[in-house]
Amino acid sequence: MLHNITIRLPEQVPPNISQTFKDLIPFSASIAIFWAFDQVFRAAFGICFAQGVIQVFQPLFTAADGYVGLAIIYGAMSLYWFVGVHGPSIVEPAISAALVSNLTANYAAYQAGEQATYILTQSAQYFVVCMGGTGATLVLCLMFCFLAKSKEMRAVGRASIVPVCFAVNEPFLFGAPMVLNPVFFVPFIAAPVLNIWLLKIFVDVLDMNGFMYTLPWTTPAPIGIIMGLGLQPLAFVFLIAVLALDFAAYYLFFKVYDRQKCEEESEVLEEELAERAAQKGAAMTAAFQGEVSAESVAAGAAASTVAGAAAASSSAGSTSSTPVQTGDLSSLNGKGVLVLCQGGGTSGLLANALAKAAKEHGIDLTTGAEAYGNHIDMMPDFDLVVLAPQAASYYDDLKKDADRMGIKCCSCRGKQYIDLSRDGEAALNFVLDQLAQ
């Protein structure tokens, strides 16, 4: 990368495709090196390197499969997301070997006619811990859809329910919001832990087999639970029990938040309230689809109930509590802003808010939303790159690329990002402030 030794394709090739070809050389080199190392390891010890790693860390894997270990792992994952950092990307690398080896061990035990007893598996994380995404938000999103009296909450739930069913809950996390929302702090951390504990109780007490099969993480959780547990009768009982558990974990907190929202809405005219709810739902849908056209950015950012300007990021990537200053927005004409997150969903929230506000001010501002990792070819076309909070850990690497290309970059805190994505005017001034630094 430092010497730009890569496979070059014509400019007409889309960036995400050309990036795949650019990755071929380092990927191939990495595979070749570790293949050679594995051959030497096999000759020396009689087992592959992966098996050697598993044997060394087996005591840790066993400890992690207990009630305390499970609580620490999945409580931390939710806690990271609550403060706006992508929890799985932080926690999962430390346990990925256990997730795979335990699933394999469960399947081997089942084939041998024994009970599959391991809890810490990839499928358990996908479908039990992250039922509807981090925080086990599937049931809560359904509650927003069908039980909320608040029009805004119903709009958020209906705009989010389809992606949440497929474990893509970033629009819901930032739209509800769940991130940095003190009302939901306790159940957001507790629900995933309670879910995995319930699975352990079913396995330890009722002799149910643990997860034996793996499915794509986007499989709807109820289907993933039934199929991942091998269609055993207790799997259907467990599914009903875990749905009921999530309902109980979230219900009281949901009622508190619904009451708060209803009190806010009681002070707003009916027509304005309906318009704001519709706008927010439309904006969330557009953000999830990654659209930033004039049609798709219908005024959802203006539907905010969170007031005030957001804090500005410093040029070093840290954030400041200094309010963003209003400047001459016309200087943004011809500029471009690229927003990056983990998967390309959350980044659309801010990109859409910027696009809408720029259109209202008659500003020719180019906006883009993408997942971190697909951005290198796109960066030269933009003047500023903004990292969403869950991708902020990549800032140092991004800064090196941005400096080399002569463009600006910054990162956002969770609350700051929420405010900016809901206030297009503040988002424009945030961009203006960053470009001026």
Which of 341, 409, 410, 412 is flagged as catalytic?
341
| β-bridge mates for residue 408, sequence order | 384
Q: Kindly compute the dihedral angle of the four CA atoms of residues 111, 224, 240, 173, in this order, to the nearest 10 degrees.
A: 140
Instruction: Give the integer Cα–Cα distance in Å for 297 and 17.
Output: 26
341 catalytically annotated: yes
At position 173, the amino acid (one-letter code) is: L
What are the strands of the beta sheet with 366-371, ordered from one edge? 366-371, 336-341, 384-387, 408-411
Instruction: Give the integer Cα–Cα distance in Å for 131 and 172.
Output: 13
Structure tokens at 84: 């706006």
Residue 76: Cβ-neighbour burial (10 angstroms; 0-12, 13-18, 19+):
middle
Instruction: Give the integer Cα–Cα distance in Å for 178 and 126.
Output: 19
The catalytic residues are 341
